[in-house]
Every structure is written in C-alpha cells, then in structure tokens.
C-alpha cells in the first residue's frame, strides 16, 4: 500500500508541474510574414526575428560587413585603490584596450593624458561605489564598468571610440 501511495504522489506532482508549465509558458507567436520567404530576403519590417541569442543589455551590435576597427592598447596599466574604512584594503590593476574606428589611432594617442584622467575618474568612482568588492568579475559588474569607460572615452575622443575592452584585471589584497 505504501508503494502505491508513493507512486500516486509522484504522478500527481509530475502532473501538477506539467500543468503549471503549460499555464505559465509564454504564448506562442503567430506565423509572421517572413516565415514563407528565405531569411536573406526578409527584413525586420517584414516581421523577421533575428536569429541567435539577444544581445546583452548595453552591448554594442556586431560591426557591419566592411566596417573596419583598430585596437589601441593603452601603454600603462591603471592602479585603483580599494578603500575599506580608513585604509587601503586592496589594489586593482587593469589594462585597457580601445576599439576605435579604423585610422583614428593617432587621435587616441594624442589625447591619451585626458583619456587616462577620464578613465581613472570612472574607475575611482566604480571602486568607491563598491564595484571591486566581492565577486567583482561578474558579468553585470564588468558590463557597467565597460559602459562607464566607453562613455568617458567617447566624451574625450569622440564617437570614434566604439568600445573599451578590459584586457587584464587583477585584485591584490594589501
């Protein structure tokens, strides 16, 4: 009798789980106008759904075909103190590379002192807000940091700065 009761409870639980999944599932989308045409002939106005995973919030789109970018590695690392109470608890060392429109490398190097100053301000603010505490390499933390660095880079150099890449990051407890 005990085995029968256990099987009945398992089946009821399984049925309840399946039922809840069906009720809470997102509604199926109806067929779109693009479903009948080849993917390359379909445009978003036709109702096409882009293939692949959706982009990360704040992420930049992939470069268009024929669009060229250069990568400019900033010469020196950035050292950011992490303050806890009245003393330095750790140091964070970061190396950055800028993704820029092709041919604008000289403009980046001409403005490097201003660029480093703007980046340091963003990095200090991030550290002060606790961005380098705990699991600081979480995707959401680094995405917020990259966004702030990209905005600072675009303020100094202009729209030629497409993105700021964090090449190396190390936290050393003091």
Q: How far apart are CA 12 and CA 54, in angstroms?
A: 37
User: For the segment 115-131, what is each residue's pLDDT rounded down to a tens digit?
Assistant: 999 999 999 999 999 99
Its pTM stands at: 0.63
pLDDT score of 161: 94
Q: How does residue 31 score in pLDDT terms, banded at 50, 70 and 90?
A: very low
Kindly state the average pLDDT of the residues 18-41: 56
131, HSE (Cβ side, Cα atoms, 13 Å): 21
pLDDT greater at residue 143 or residue 134? 143
Kindly state the average pLDDT of the residues 134-150: 91
Domain count, the chain: 2
Closest CA to 167 of 65, 99, 116: 99
Q: How does residue 5 score in pLDDT terms, banded at 50, 70 and 90?
A: confident
Does residue 109 lie within any of the structural domains? yes
Q: Cα dihedral sign for 60, 102, 70, 43?
A: positive
CATH number, domain containing residue 128:
3.30.479
Q: How far apart are CA 42 and CA 174, in angstroms?
A: 57
Host domain of residue 160: 69-173
Q: Cα dihedral sign for 81, 85, 87, 90?
A: negative
Residues 83 and 163 in one domain: yes
pLDDT score of 40: 54
């Amino acid at each position: 009798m005990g085995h029968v009761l256990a099987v009945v409870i398992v089946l009821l639980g399984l049925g309840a789980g399946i039922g809840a999944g069906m009720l809470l599932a997102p509604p199926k989308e109806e067929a779109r106008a693009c479903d009948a045409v080849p993917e390359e002939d379909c445009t978003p106005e036709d109702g096409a759904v882009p293939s692949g995973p959706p982009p990360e919030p704040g992420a930049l789109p992939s470069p268009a075909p024929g669009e060229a970018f250069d990568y400019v590695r900033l010469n020196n690392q950035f050292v950011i103190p992490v303050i806890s109470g009245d003393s330095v608890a750790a140091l964070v060392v970061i190396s950055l590379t800028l993704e820029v429109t092709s041919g604008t490398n000289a403009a980046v190097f001409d403005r490097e002192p201003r660029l480093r100053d703007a980046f340091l301000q963003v990095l200090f603010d991030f550290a002060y807000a606790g961005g380098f505490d705990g699991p600081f390499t979480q995707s959401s933390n680094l995405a917020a940091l990259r966004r702030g660095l990209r905005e600072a880079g675009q303020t100094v150099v202009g729209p030629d700065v497409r993105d700021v890449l964090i090449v190396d990051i190390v936290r050393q407890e003091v």
